[in-house]
Amino acid sequence: MAKQKTLMTFDKVNEVLEQQQRNAEKRQEANEKAQAAAAKLELLRQQYEEELVKGVESETDNADKLNKLEKDIAQAEREVKRAKEAAEVARKYFQSTVNKDEFKAAFNEFKNEYKEKEVEPLLEAMRQTKMELTKQFREYQDAIAHYERQRDNAKNVYDPTGRTLFFGGKVTPDTQQEVAYFLVTAQTLEDLQAGNLPSGVDKEDIEEEDEKNKKGGRK
């Protein structure tokens, strides 16, 4: 099937979703750093306790190792404090909420532009089609009325008494199927509203017209 025109999109949605994703990643990164800092502190405390046990069991002087572990623990405690504060800041400033007033204003602007550029040209095109259809239908009615006058004149000449069955018939569609195929009916509108092709309109014809428009550079 021929490629259809690309319609305008409300890009603010993707912008917001992408920003929310970035914010979520920042919160997650801050939380992971806080968890890693806490895990490091817990490990150092375990090492300090183990080193104390070793010193008591072996009755050896391991003060240097304990002093170093104490410094490491103090540094780790500061890192945990900073990491927790950073995670709290991340939760506060990198939220996934939407500025509803700004979002609503952006969409209203999109709606007005979409209506002007995408919808109104189609409405005008359909109005022009309706005018052309009205013209053609009136011509059709005139043609039928003209034929019926010709038939009546011929019938009067053929048998002025009107007793003989005249051979002339009608030239309008004979069946409901033919009416639906050639004319615009209530069923035509129902089919269009339902997204179906009405009788008399073939899918191949639509695709061929789309292809012509594409080659002609029309959007």
Mean pLDDT of 70-85: 97
Mean pLDDT of 101-126: 96
**Average pLDDT value over all residues in the chain:** 90
- Rounded CA-CA distance 80/74 in Å is 10
Q: What is the pLDDT of residue 219?
A: 43
The 8-class DSSP code of residue 216 comes to: T
Question: What confidence category does residue 204 fall into, taking pLDDT thresholds of 50, 70 and 90?
Answer: confident
Tokens representing 119?
A: 């919808």
**Burial environment of residue 117 by CB neighbours within 10 A (0 to 12, 13 to 18, 19 or more):** exposed
By three-state DSSP, how is residue 113 classified? helix
Task: Enter the DSSP assignment of 6.
Answer: P
- Residue 213 has a pLDDT of 63
Vertex 204 angle, CA 185 and 127, to 5°: 45
Assess whether pLDDT exceeds 60 at residue 3: no
Q: Where are the domains of the chain?
A: 12-93, 164-219
- The CA distance from 144 to 141, in Å, is 5
Encode pLDDT of 49-70 as tens digits: 999 998 888 878 889 999 999 9
Overall average pLDDT of the 5-21 stretch? 93
Give the predicted TM-score (pTM) of the model.
0.65
